[in-house]
Amino acid sequence: MKNRILAIILVLTATVVTISAQTYTVYSVIGDAKLIQGKKAVPLEPRKQLSAQNRLIIDAESAITLLDEKRSKMYSFSIEGTYSVKDLVAKAGNKAKFVSRQYMSYLVKQLFSKGSSQMVHPNTYMQVTATSYRSSTNDSMLLSRIAQELPLEFGYTAEQQLCRSDNKLSSDLQVRFELISCDTGYELGNDVKANTSCYVRVHNDTDEALYVNVLDIDDEGGKYLVLPVDEAATCSHLLVPPLSTVSFKSEPFIFTDDQMRETFILVATQDPVDFSILMNPISGGETDEALYVNVLDIDDEGGKYLVLPVDEAATCSHLLVPPLSTVSFKSEPFIFTDDQMRETFILVATQDPVDFSILMNPISGGKGRVMKSGLYRKAYQIRE
């Protein structure tokens, strides 16, 4: 009887240990990384579940990112050598990226969706469906942020301004890149022979993981995204760990035989964006999309009034103005009072529906997040 009781206790103890074991999900792999299984080393792939005891081999200029669903953390590593997952997590220290539980659930769901494994080189903005965790507003904010760095000069597009060497690009994030020859492994010079094959090597000199892509603009205004975009816009394969150098050897490309100048712009962001929006004309002002609008009236005494009414469900459907259009709200007239005072009217427009009644609260700045971007430029002349 005693032996039987002891056996039951041992089984229960073993079960508890198994259930509580820490697991990690492989979010992305850039370059070469392997999982040691017995005496073999097999390629590490996204979606793989790992334990803290699993041992990994990370090659030079390669990177992996792991998700810790239990603690809502994201770990990115680019440390050459052989390590256990436990040791890698310990080395990450305070560089781990915290995310909300809801956002973590979204990341995992998107990672296992069909679209996350389908890579494309888009020639137009894919307009991936926005969610509460990845707003399309971030996409347009990226274009606006880039446009802010360019001087306003009649007769030049933003793309042409980006390519002009006399226009200095400032960057919020310290990033840089080189194009590396697939044949020699060395960095390309400014003069490149036609049909040269190469890949991108990115340096992230910040202390946080960044999402990156490279936009190629030729003399004729043609644009090409060097790194493919996944159809779910998770950008997991474009995440470069902090303070690291990563080579995208799996995404080589070839210079054409056209004798022209090509300019490459490295774009880096803190949050995932649908980089295919870079295929749209870069603009910080006018828009070719429908917008939600309202008008705030503020008098000299600080009194405020929303000119257009808000529906209680805040759908804003009656406030949606089509792209490139002029709309009159004749069904919502109002009257100026008989008070002799000055009134100021502010038109507010957003890409996504909002509860405009929040404008009746005191307007305060400082807590809102401003999108940061990293920009770095290199130009190459193709010759015979």
Q: Which CATH number do you get for residue 157? A: 2.60.40.10
Look at residue 129 in the predicted model and tell me its pLDDT: 47
Indicate if 217 and 123 belong to the same structural domain: yes
Q: To the nearest whole number, what is the mean pLDDT of the chain?
A: 82
For residue 61, being part of any structural domain is answered with yes
Q: Does residue 280 sit in the same domain as residue 295?
A: no
| pLDDT per position as a tens digit, 262-315 | 999 999 998 888 888 888 888 754 555 778 889 998 888 888 889 999 887 777
Q: Which domain holds residue 178?
A: 118-284+374-383
- Domain annotation covers residue 357: no
Amino acid letter, residue 373? S
Alpha-carbon span 128 to 135, nearest angstrom: 10
Q: Are residues 107 and 129 in the same domain?
A: no
Q: Does residue 12 lie in a domain region?
A: no
Cα–Cα distance between 240 and 238 in angstroms, integer? 6
180 plus 60 within the same structural domain: no
Dihedral sign, CA of 350, 354, 358, 363? Answer: negative
92 Cβ neighbours under 8 A, 6+ residues apart:
75, 76, 77
Structure confidence at residue 314 (pLDDT)? 72
Contacts of 10 (CB under 8 A, 6+ apart): none
Q: Are residues 141 and 254 in the same domain?
A: yes
Residue 242 vs residues 30, 96, 208: alpha-carbon distances, Å:
14, 10, 5
Picking from 111, 138, 156, the residue at the C-terminal end of a domain is 111
Structural domain ending residue among the three candidates 95, 111, 127: 111
Residue 32 lies in a domain: yes
What pTM does this model have?
0.71
Give the span between the Cα atoms of 381 and 139, in whole angstroms: 30
Overall average pLDDT of the 366-379 stretch? 70
The number of folded domains in the chain is: 3
- Residue 31 resides in a domain: yes
pLDDT above 90 (res 99) = no
Tell whether 366 is covered by a domain: no
| pLDDT of 311 | 84
Say what the pLDDT of residue 364 is. Answer: 65
Integer CA distances (angstroms), 150 to 139, 170, 261, 284, 285, in order: 18, 9, 20, 10, 13
Same domain? 299 vs 315: yes
Give residue 50's pLDDT. 95
Q: Under DSSP, is residue 15 helix (H, G, I), strand (E, B) or coil? A: helix
Write out the two tokens for 302: 């600080």
Higher local confidence (pLDDT), 145 or 42: 42
> What is the mean pLDDT of the segment spanning 332-336?
87
Q: Are residues 33 and 70 in the same domain?
A: yes
Strands 261-269 and 373-383 turn out to be: antiparallel
Domain co-membership, 106 together with 143: no
196 & 240 share domain:
yes
Residue 49 confidence (pLDDT): 94
146, 221: one domain: yes
pLDDT, tens only, 339-365: 778 888 889 888 777 888 888 888 765
pLDDT value for 7: 41
Residue 368 falls inside a structural domain: no
Lowest mean pLDDT among 67-76, 82-91, 109-118, 258-267: 109-118
Whether residues 345 and 243 fall in one domain: no
Q: Is residue 364 part of a domain?
A: no
Band of the pLDDT at 205, cuts 50, 70, 90?
A: very high
> Are residue 99 and residue 123 in the same domain, yes or no?
no
The residue out of 84, 111, 138 marking a domain boundary is 111
3-state class of 65 per DSSP? Answer: strand
Question: Mind listing the pLDDT tens digit for each residue in 1-56?
Answer: 445 444 433 344 444 444 457 899 999 899 999 999 999 999 999 889 999 999 99
Q: What is the mean pLDDT of residues 158-174?
A: 85
